[in-house]
Copies of this chain bind each other. A is one copy, B any other.
Amino acid sequence: MSTSPAPRTRPLRADAERNRQRLIAAAQELFATRGIDVTLDDVARHAGVGVGTVYRRFANRDELIEVVLVGAVRRLADHAEKALANPDPWDGFEEFFVAATRDFAENRGLRELVLERHRGTADAFVDVRNGFQPATTTLIGRAQEAGELRDDLEPVDFPLIQLMLGAVTHHTRDVAPELWQRYVTLMLDGLRTRRDAPTPFAAPAITDAQFDRALT
């Protein structure tokens, strides 16, 4: 366990600050594409700085994760707030559901952090998560009271459903990064109370060749 850099009194020197930003940008990209388990050596190389610089600036991976991903978590919360403003209960629910699925599809690190919690999560995240839980619960409740969303669902079902959708992206990101759009439709059709016909898919199925390439 490394010790945290002492709380700073003076601001960073210009070059140091520049390198810090480079590191954050590199981490942002690598966390999103390869997940939060990338090595810090990788992050350093990707940022074009030495490893020493990473460890001088961030106590450990968790600290870097926090700096890089709080924004993404907060964006999830924003989706929920925005969806609450939608006057139609089902549309509001669907709006949030799809937005969340997209965010998880586009950011593997976010998925791992919020849905799978691969690494010990810093307190900062617990706060943010608790912060937007009421909004999602309301979105769900409203849609259920309106009779549109099946009412035997509970809030805890939703992270698990997102986990399911995330699995598609996890395994097909390289061949069809938009494939989640197909299965999110399927899922929503399952979540509805009743329905006369299938909602058309927003994305085509992958080909058999793509499937073969995906599973490796």
Contact = CB atoms under 8 A, between A and B. Distances in A.
Interface of A: 115-117, 150, 152-154, 156-157, 159-161, 163-168, 171-172, 179, 182-183, 186-191, 193-198, 200-201, 205-208, 211, 215-216
A156 B214 CA distance: 12
A198 B190 CA distance: 8
A117 to B, nearest CB: 4
A183 B198 contact: no
A215 B116 CA distance: 5
Contacts of A116: 171, 215
A179 B161 CA distance: 12
Given A194-B196, A198-B152, A159 B211 contact: yes
